[in-house]
Amino acid sequence: MSRVCEICGKGPSAGRHIVRKGSPKYKGGIGLHTTGISNRRFLPNLHNVRVKDAAGNVTHKKVCAKCIRSGKITKA
């Protein structure tokens, strides 16, 4: 559970990095050709934040930036 938001559960997602060579057709070339595809991971933007819970206790949590901006937590 190291790269998971403790509020919304957002975690890493998978994707691909595609390498292309050539000049595009709209620029007068013969077109783009795929020369390599490699797998990659998209990691969430996590921050260690001191959070105040409903009982008033202060704890440290890993929270994504979207939860911080949307006000789902209250900082201590």
Q: From first to last of the 76 residues of the chain, give the pLDDT tens digit.
A: 589 999 999 999 999 999 999 999 999 999 999 999 999 999 999 999 999 988 989 999 999 999 999 999 999 8
The rounded distance, in Å, linking the Cα atoms of 2 and 22 is 40
Domain boundaries, the chain: 13-70
List helix spans (H) across the chain.
65-70
Q: Tell me, what's the pLDDT at 54? A: 85
Q: Tell me, what's the pLDDT at 70? A: 95
| Residue 16 and residue 8 in contact, taking contact as beta carbons nearer than 8 Å | no
| Residue 63 and residue 4 in contact, taking contact as beta carbons nearer than 8 Å | no
Q: Tell me, what's the pLDDT at 31? A: 96
| Residue 14 and residue 3 in contact, taking contact as beta carbons nearer than 8 Å | no
Against a cut of 0.85, is the pTM above it?
no
| Residue 50 and residue 43 in contact, taking contact as beta carbons nearer than 8 Å | no
